[in-house]
Amino acid sequence: MTDPDVVEPVRTHPVVSVVIPIGGIDEFLTDQLQALATQTFDQPWELVMSMNQPGATSDPRLPSSPLHPQASRVIIDSSAERSAAHARNAGAVAARAELLAFCDADDIVEPDWLEQIVASLESHEVVGGYLDERRLSPAGQERWRPPATPDELPAYLNHRYPVSANMGARRDAFERVGGFAEGLTRCEDIAFGWALADAGIELAYSPTAIVHYRHRPGLWTMIRQHHMYGIGMSEVIARQGLPGGGDAGGNSLLRANKQQVTQRSVIHILRRGAIASGRVRGLVQERLQPLTRRDQSDRSS
């Protein structure tokens, strides 16, 4: 469902729509909404809250934070498919502006974040911003986790992509590649960036569009998250291939990215192992799927 469930009075047509996928309602969401309410951007804009949990549009816990003076708010139900990619795509469909900005519910945008995203989209089709991991993430994580934006956009197998927690796109560019790929375990950001490359759409980096990025604490949470990343990486390669039609065989898929960590600790090794095991699992699953479908077809015939 993408029709707006809640629409606040429209002042004028928005210059930009901020799409925020919301999987759950907690104190982090309140902090992000407060940050969006204090943006320095002084033109009309729209906040599209894409609720990806059943019943969330009418949840009494949904914060009624004050809006930015130039903003209107739209709340939609995107719970038909439980995924951040679907929530973002549904939000983009409901959005009215020709410029789209994306952030997450559990991070905190800088006061001039939206201003910087819009400024970058004046000369670029798609832009990814800087993810500052120092403020909200567990202390010391930089010793074993590479930076999300290493003075540039991240890359996988040397192909760049934006992080969906901090990016902007012109609507025509977003729609030209079909938005975010749905049905992936993770890594829809990678799939999106590679689709841009195949479509010849420019992807730029804006270090001044800053989002304070939150890593969830806990060793098991980190291991499970990175295992899922590994599965998603294999899914993207198997279903989409490398930009330009390049082939990534098993050896390429399992090759480690260049890492920027200050200490190769036990936690770093566990994180890398979780990604590698996820890649193997994803690769096996993707190769088995055609055999499974063929077997099911033989049984039904």
Tell me how far apart the alpha carbons of residues 167 and 174 are, in angstroms, rounded to a whole number: 11
Q: Give the distance from CA 249 to its chain's centroid.
A: 26
pTM, rounded to two decimals: 0.87
**pLDDT tens track, the chain, 301 positions:** 455 665 555 558 999 999 999 998 888 999 999 999 999 999 999 999 999 999 888 887 887 777 899 999 999 999 999 999 999 999 999 999 999 999 999 999 999 999 999 999 999 999 999 999 988 877 776 666 778 898 899 999 999 999 999 999 999 999 999 999 999 999 999 999 999 999 999 999 999 999 999 987 777 788 888 898 899 999 999 999 999 886 655 555 555 555 554 556 777 788 788 888 988 998 899 888 765 544 444 444 4
Task: Give the model's pLDDT for residue 101.
Answer: 98
Task: Give the model's pLDDT for residue 297.
Answer: 44
- 181-192 burial, b if ≥16 CB within 10 A, otherwise e? bbebbbbbbbbb
For 293, the 3-state DSSP assignment is helix
Question: Which residue segments constitute the domains of the chain, with CATH numbers given?
Answer: 4-215 (3.90.550.10)
Q: Which helix (H) or strand (E) holds 51?
A: strand 45-51
CB 143 within 8 A of CB 263: yes
Task: Give the model's pLDDT for residue 296.
Answer: 44
Tell me how far apart the alpha carbons of residues 46 and 13 are, in angstroms, rounded to a whole number: 9
Task: Give the model's pLDDT for residue 51.
Answer: 96
27 class by beta-carbon count within 10 Å (0-12 exposed, 13-18 middle, 19+ buried): exposed
